[in-house]
Amino acid sequence: MKKKTLIIWISILIGFMLVVFANPGQIFTKAILRLTGNYITPKDETSASILSKIQMNNIYYDRLFRLSELKSLKDFQAKKISSVPFVQIYNEDKKIITMASGSNCAWALLNYFNKNDTSKLVEGDSMMYQFIMDRLEPIDLKTNQDTFEAYIFAGWANYIPKLSKGLFNQTNEIMESNKGKVCLSYINLDFQEGWEAEMESDKKK
């Protein structure tokens, strides 16, 4: 009997997971994510509110950015790099080496920084770094150094608190032994105050 009950609960859990991943934009899915602490109602952010959030949680970073405009978010979505959170790791020449999103961010970071020899990693898109930079607005730049051994873009949002916090914890741990060698840039992906006009314009099209 206990075995049968366990099987039923596992089936229900799998069903919930399939609904969440198959319909991430649906009301039911958001309700599930709220219950698990993975989603809160989004609110418009500002440079000041983003910086305050980062500082309040003692999060290490070299550069802190937000998206420059609503179109930048759409450009990110077109490139399939708008999942929250996400990480992208680039080599010293700013050619992308690895990327991941969601709960896979931690594994991507660990796999890269635990490797003793990264020379065999395959280099990818050499244009992606500049594509992202062209769509960002700086909030706080602690360094202008351009001679790092590696560069990390880490995307996060306040409306995805649990996964974003996990990303913060992981990057803080990694940067303890990589400060000065790796440039960590955080990108906030929340909707920003001042985007209302762009949104209204889109509705009229």
Q: Tell me the pLDDT tens digit for each residue of 20-79.
A: 444 444 444 455 455 555 778 888 999 999 999 999 999 999 999 999 999 999 999 999
Residue type, 96: I
Quick check: pTM over 0.85?
A: no
User: Two tokens at 102?
Assistant: 């969601």
Residue 9 clears pLDDT 50, i.e. is over it: no
Nearest to 137 by CA among 190, 182, 196: 190
The pLDDT value recorded for residue 91 is 92
User: Two tokens at 126?
Assistant: 């050499």
The pLDDT value recorded for residue 116 is 53
Q: Which percentage of the chain shows pLDDT scores above 90?
A: 53
Phi-psi category of 194—alpha, beta or left, where left has phi over 0 and alpha has psi -120 to 50?
left
In tens, the pLDDT along 143-187 reads: 999 999 999 999 999 999 988 999 999 999 999 999 999 999 999
The pLDDT value recorded for residue 31 is 53
* Ranges of each domain in the chain: 2-35, 47-196
User: Two tokens at 129?
Assistant: 């770094």
The pLDDT value recorded for residue 16 is 43
In tens, the pLDDT along 93-150 reads: 999 988 888 777 877 887 777 765 454 455 667 899 999 999 999 999 999 999 999 9
CA distance linking residue 144 with residue 183, whole number of Å: 10
How would you classify the pairing of strands 182-188 and 63-67? parallel
The pLDDT value recorded for residue 18 is 44
Burial 31-40 (b: 16+ CB within 10 A, else e): ebbeeeebbe
User: Two tokens at 76?
Assistant: 């990110």
CA distance linking residue 169 with residue 175, whole number of Å: 10
